[in-house]
Structure 1
């Protein structure tokens, strides 16, 4: 299975840090945030990774190269102008192929076990959900008995980690568009599964949360 890391966001809430550096390259615990993802993907057995980029994207390619350092093969989907999550994945489909693939938001940190994620043959998506954080108290999707529902179950926050079948994007057209409406349409068809992750998860969307992650990883290293 191939994996995609979403790295095209401008990082407006991270400014001025992102004025001269793309958000995925911001350092955390001594290395770029996106490198943490690549290392975890490689450890989980993913050998082919697609990374999209827009703002200062050439810096991402220059820093990561083709992935030899981590034993993976990296392809890039350059967007020029960010296409939002749905549009970015759709543009990258020729690189991702015809089989289901994993997508991870480049601006999160999570200890979910990537080897245990599974997409059933008839499903179009499988999402990892987390308890609602303070910055998203209302959540994003309902989870009931390991299925996402239209309105019953527990309302939880999408972690930014999901498995997708390319058929989810059938009928889409090139351009910028969000992912959530496609997921909600698939939920209405009963074709989205999900799981709750109660381990570590941080949406690294602001300088304050970046510092929180830095402190957390520092405490981990000091406890070893």
Structure 2
């Protein structure tokens, strides 16, 4: 099984920390955020990982190399100076990910979620991990029903953790899902993943699970500092 780690964001809310360092390479607990993911992916038997890059792209191979220290083979899917967002970035990386299901993880989160709990074969087009809504995102994203299906409407809602398993089939008909969103008609196309997921949810093709453990969206310097202090205290 292969994996994709999203690492192409501009990190604008993290400046000045991201002026010279991409957000996934910022350190917490003595290692880059992305290194926590790479270690966990290697531990469950993943051997090939694709990183999509844009802002300060050369810094990734400088810091991570070819992945050999984790027993991985890293490939870099460079998107140019303007990131393709989550949907466009995943679509752009598909040729490197193959035809089977793959794991995708946001490079700027930290969690104690055990990646071994992810299904190797999702029942539909994707299996997403959800968490309780954090203070900075109280409205949540999706509804998880008693049968493990996800819905775009209704309540109560949970927050998408930025961790999932996807099939390439998710992108069949993606153009109708994103419509005329800015960037969708460019080459390569640039669009968010959320509309594609919502369209698949309407067809009953997305399942999920709730993670009740630790999870942080490292979106501000304050949250990075809090995470660093928490991890340092636990070492």
Q: TM-score range by the shorter chain?
A: over 0.9
Change (3 A) 1:121 1:143: closer
Instruction: Name the residue aligned to 2:144.
Output: 143
Instruction: Name the residue aligned to 1:48.
Output: 48
Instruction: Name the residue aligned to 2:199.
Output: 185
Instruction: Give yes or no for contact 1:169–1:182 (8 Å, CA) kept in 2.
Output: yes
Instruction: Give yes or no for contact 1:84–1:177 (8 Å, CA) kept in 2.
Output: yes
Tell me how far 1:24 sits from its aligned partner.
Answer: 1.1
For 2:78 and 2:112, how far apart are their aligned partners in 1?
28
Instruction: Name the residue aligned to 2:167.
Output: 165
Q: Does 1:175 align with 2:176?
A: no
Q: Secondary structure at the match of 1:129?
A: strand
Instruction: Name the residue aligned to 2:225.
Output: 211
Deviation string 1:81-109 (CA, Å, 9 cap, x unpaired) is 20000000000000000001000000000
Instruction: Give yes or no for contact 1:144–1:152 (8 Å, CA) kept in 2.
Output: no
Q: Does 1:123 align with 2:124?
A: yes
Worse-matched range after superposition: 144-153 or 101-110: 144-153
Query: What stretches of structure 2 of length at least 5 have no aligned partner?
Result: 176-187
Instruction: Give yes or no for contact 1:119–1:125 (8 Å, CA) kept in 2.
Output: no
Query: What stretches of structure 1 of length at least 5 have no aligned partner?
Result: none
Deviation string 1:65-86 (CA, Å, 9 cap, x unpaired) is 1111111111110011200000
Instruction: Name the residue aligned to 1:57.
Output: 57
Tell me how far 1:28 sits from its aligned partner.
Answer: 1.2
Q: Secondary structure at the match of 2:189?
A: coil
Q: Does 1:201 align with 2:215?
A: yes
For 1:122 and 1:25, how far apart are their aligned partners in 2?
33
Q: Does 1:75 align with 2:90?
A: no
CA RMSD of superposed structures (Å): 1.3
Q: Secondary structure at the match of 2:191?
A: coil
Normalised by the length of structure 1, the TM-score is 0.95
How many residues of Structure 1 are paired with residues of Structure 2 in the alignment? 221
Instruction: Name the residue aligned to 2:6.
Output: 6
Instruction: Give yes or no for contact 1:128–1:194 (8 Å, CA) kept in 2.
Output: yes
Deviation string 1:149-180 (CA, Å, 9 cap, x unpaired) is 24345300000001111011124473110000
Q: Secondary structure at the match of 2:59?
A: helix
Tell me how far 1:44 sits from its aligned partner.
Answer: 1.9
Instruction: Give yes or no for contact 1:144–1:154 (8 Å, CA) kept in 2.
Output: no
Deviation string 1:108-152 (CA, Å, 9 cap, x unpaired) is 001111111116554001110000000000000011111102434
